[in-house]
């Protein structure tokens, strides 16, 4: 194996390689994790179905159960052929391209985000009804943080909590159904008859269509099992689909029917937010209403856990495929991708704070995202059949059932858009930034190349200008320092000459100095002065010293001649202070400077 120098491949593998000691969930824990989300739907979907379908609510919920049965085969075929985390993203990644698969991933992430925030908020609203001093928004944030910590600890530990919540919820629903049945035996079916006397809005077909569209939201969570299939033991995944289908097929139509039989239609709208708790109070008394409220808070909290687990599996897969940053893959000692959980918590908490707890708009994000994911999963199955026909799979969905399932979800999507036109706008407000970030990651190399070209386009003229300016400045400095200066010495010792050098160094911009001595006829240069100049030349390397001897008489005429000959202005010529016997006035020298 060849390793690139400077790269610690072992450390890199520890981040992106799936751990070998992953917890393999058995049937009950795996069902509980995704089942808490889908089984909590009866708390709100019964009321929605009754509002839109009236007396046909339970029929619309049975239709949803029938469509969900078709999706059991669809999910079973796709995940059986491609048993990897990611759900619809994984299906499309292996049959189309990364951009198309990323679309499914964005929708799934939005669905989980909306589910987590809405479920946590609704759970705390139930607790608030039981204990009014509870501050809902801080409590919601704390609940999100608790499940973040649980998933960081590990899926094995969090699954135990999920099992406890799931079992409690199923038992609570059984108690509610039993007391509802007992209530009917004792009070008769007069309320049901009265409700059936109320005509459905728009007639049978319209009522069933809108009731079915609203009721389709009750199967949210069914897609979650496919997002953590790698953490499930072999053979568990299809069992989770079966178990979720049974729960939805039994409890959702049954609770809707009991609500119609126990609660007058006019009261359903009044108690829409907590219809089952109200039904429990009517059928069994306040204790049953309390039990259902507590159960609602618990199971909605369990739906938050479903979101965290689903996001963990999906984002980990996306990071492995380099659609999301690799730093999200770092594992803790419990083999949990803790950075994903922290990032998801921060996202949910920020949305909670930004909206101020007013989460009605998020329903649009949740609705369109979830239904779109279901459609894309069906399309992934079609592509799997066409493009990967030879890939082995444990079961196959028939073409008719596949097309019927996709058409039904599309119909539900259209129905929800008609019922709530504002949902589309709200959805786009969240979807466009999300898909924008993913698009940046998918095209980051092209974007970086474009930025590089832009920088070169901007910087090349700038660099040329800087280079030209630098050259001009250097030339200017060179011209300034190239100016020569002259000092006339009459045989001064080295200490005097050193003072001259210090003066020139401190006061003038130059690296050239002529030290000139004037010799009268018959006069010679003393060897000491040459040695002194050599010493100073070494002591002041930044100034080039030139020693010159001239024959003549020092005076204005000599200064004029040397100034003209050397092209050095007379004010750049220095002398020491002359004595009393100097025959000329300083003014006669034409501006020669006294520096000593």
Distant-in-sequence, close-in-space partners of 69: CB < 8 Å, separation ≥ 6: 245, 249
Beta bridge partners, 546, equal 514
Q: Three-state SS for 520?
A: coil
DSSP type of residue 19: P
Query: How far is it, in rounded angstroms, from Cα 332 to Cα 131?
Result: 37
Q: State the fold for domain 478-594.
A: Rossmann fold (3.40.50)
DSSP type of residue 538: H
pLDDT tens digits in sequence order for the chain, 596 residues long: 334 444 444 444 444 444 444 568 999 999 998 888 899 888 888 888 999 999 999 999 999 999 999 999 999 999 999 998 888 888 998 999 889 999 999 999 988 898 888 888 888 888 887 888 888 889 999 999 998 998 888 776 778 888 999 999 999 999 999 999 999 999 999 999 999 988 888 889 999 999 999 899 888 888 888 888 988 999 999 999 999 999 999 999 999 999 999 999 888 888 887 889 989 999 999 999 999 999 999 999 888 988 898 898 889 988 888 888 888 888 888 888 889 999 999 999 988 888 777 776 777 788 889 899 999 999 999 999 999 888 899 999 999 999 999 999 999 999 988 988 888 888 888 889 889 988 898 888 999 999 999 998 988 888 888 889 998 999 998 888 888 999 998 877 788 889 999 999 989 888 899 999 888 877 778 888 888 888 898 999 999 999 988 888 888 988 999 999 999 998 999 998 888 788 888 888 888 888 88
Range(s) of the chain covered by CATH 3.40.50: 478-594
Q: Three-state SS for 149?
A: helix
Residue with tokens 């999301």: 324
Nearest partner of 370 among 438, 448, 292, 307, judged by Cα: 307
Query: How far is it, in rounded angstroms, from Cα 207 to Cα 334?
Result: 50
Query: How far is it, in rounded angstroms, from Cα 304 to Cα 165?
Result: 12
Q: Could you tell me the CA-to-CA distances from 342 to 119, 146, 300, 311, 349 in Å, in that order?
A: 18, 11, 20, 11, 10
Distant-in-sequence, close-in-space partners of 191: CB < 8 Å, separation ≥ 6: 260, 261, 262, 263, 264
Contact 42/276 with Cβ under 8 angstroms?
A: yes
Per DSSP, the residues of 28-70 read HHHHHHHHHHHHTTHHHHHHHHHHHHGGGHHHHHHHHHHHHHH
**Residue 22, pLDDT score:** 57
Nearest partner of 411 among 546, 238, 120, 213, judged by Cα: 213
pLDDT in tens, 240-258: 999 999 999 999 999 999 9
Length of the chain: 596
Query: How far is it, in rounded angstroms, from Cα 213 to Cα 64?
Result: 9
Range(s) of the chain covered by CATH 1.20.1740.10: 34-445
Domain 34-445 has CATH 1.10.3210.10: no
For the sheet with 544-551, list strands across it. 544-551, 512-519, 485-489, 573-575, 593-594
Distant-in-sequence, close-in-space partners of 535: CB < 8 Å, separation ≥ 6: 494
Contact 519/551 with Cβ under 8 angstroms?
A: yes
Q: What is the pTM of this model?
A: 0.73
Query: How far is it, in rounded angstroms, from Cα 589 to Cα 583?
Result: 11
pLDDT in tens, 95-141: 998 899 999 999 999 888 988 888 888 888 888 878 888 888 899 99
Query: How far is it, in rounded angstroms, from Cα 550 to Cα 567?
Result: 17
Longest dimension (CA), the chain: 148
Element (H, E) at 23: none
**Residue 254, pLDDT score:** 95
Per DSSP, the residues of 82-136 read S-STTTHHHHHHTTS-HHHHHHHHHHHHHHHHHHHHHHHHHHHHHHHHHSTT--H
Contact 413/147 with Cβ under 8 angstroms?
A: no
Strands 544-551 and 573-575 come out as unpaired
Query: How far is it, in rounded angstroms, from Cα 333 to Cα 560?
Result: 90
DSSP type of residue 227: G
Nearest partner of 243 among 520, 26, 483, 471, judged by Cα: 26
């Amino acid at each position: 194996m060849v390793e690139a120098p400077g790269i610690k491949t072992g450390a890199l593998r520890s981040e992106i390689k799936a751990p070998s000691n992953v917890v393999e969930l058995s049937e009950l824990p795996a069902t509980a994790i995704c089942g808490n989300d889908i089984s909590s739907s009866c708390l709100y979907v019964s009321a929605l179905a009754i509002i839109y379908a009236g007396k046909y609510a339970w029929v619309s919920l049975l239709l949803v159960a029938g469509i969900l049965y078709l999706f059991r085969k669809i999910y079973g075929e796709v995940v059986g052929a491609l048993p990897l985390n990611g759900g619809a993203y994984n299906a499309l990644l292996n049959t189309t391209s990364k951009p198309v698969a990323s679309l499914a991933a964005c929708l799934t992430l939005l669905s989980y985000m909306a589910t987590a925030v809405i479920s946590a908020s609704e759970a705390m609203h139930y607790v608030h009804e039981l204990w009014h001093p509870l501050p809902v928004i801080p409590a919601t944030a704390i609940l999100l943080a608790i499940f973040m910590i649980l998933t960081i600890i590990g899926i094995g530990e969090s699954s135990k909590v999920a099992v406890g919540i799931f079992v409690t919820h199923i038992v609570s629903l059984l108690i509610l159904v039993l007391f509802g049945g007992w209530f009917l035996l004792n009070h008769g079916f007069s309320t049901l008859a009265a409700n059936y006397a109320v005509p459905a809005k728009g007639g049978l077909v319209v009522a069933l269509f809108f009731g079915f569209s609203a009721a389709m939201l009750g199967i949210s969570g069914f897609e979650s099992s496919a997002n953590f299939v790698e953490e499930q033991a072999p053979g568990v995944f299809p069992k989770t689909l079966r178990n979720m289908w049974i729960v939805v097929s039994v409890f959702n139509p049954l609770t809707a029917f009991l609500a119609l039989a126990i609660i007058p239609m006019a009261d359903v709208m009044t108690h829409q937010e907590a219809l089952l708790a109200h039904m429990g109070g009517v059928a069994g008394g306040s204790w049953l209403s309390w039990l259902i409220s507590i159960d609602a808070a618990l199971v909605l909290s369990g739906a938050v856990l479903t979101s965290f687990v689903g996001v963990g599996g999906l984002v980990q897969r996306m990071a492995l495929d380099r659609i999301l940053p690799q730093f999200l893959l770092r594992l803790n000692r419990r083999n949990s991708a803790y950075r994903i959980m922290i990032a998801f918590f921060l996202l949910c908490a920020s949305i909670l704070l930004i909206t101020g707890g007013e989460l009605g708009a998020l329903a649009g994000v949740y609705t369109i995202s979830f239904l779109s994911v279901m459609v894309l999963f069906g399309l992934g199955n079609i592509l799997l059949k066409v493009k990967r026909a030879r890939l082995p799979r444990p079961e196959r969905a028939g073409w008719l059932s596949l097309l019927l399932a996709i058409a039904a979800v599309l119909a539900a999507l259209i129905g929800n858009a008609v019922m709530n036109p504002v949902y589309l706008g709200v959805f786009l407000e969240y979807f466009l930034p999300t898909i924008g970030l993913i698009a940046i990651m998918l095209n980051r190399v092209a974007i970086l190349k474009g930025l590089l070209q832009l920088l070169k386009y901007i910087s090349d003229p700038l660099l040329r200008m800087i280079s030209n300016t630098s050259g001009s400045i250097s030339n200017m400095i060179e011209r300034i320092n190239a100016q020569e200066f002259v000092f006339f010495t009459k045989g001064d010792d080295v200490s005097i000459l050193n003072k001259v050098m210090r003066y020139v160094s401190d006061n003038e911009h130059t690296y050239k100095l002529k030290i000139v001595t004037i010799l009268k006829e018959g006069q010679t240069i003393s060897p000491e002065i040459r040695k002194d100049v050599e010493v100073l030349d070494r002591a002041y390397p930044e100034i080039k010293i030139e020693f010159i001897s001239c024959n003549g008489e020092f005076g204005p005429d000599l200064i004029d001649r040397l100034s003209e000959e050397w092209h050095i202005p007379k004010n750049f010529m220095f002398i020491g202070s002359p004595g009393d016997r100097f025959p000329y006035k300083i003014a006669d020298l034409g501006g020669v400077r006294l520096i000593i």
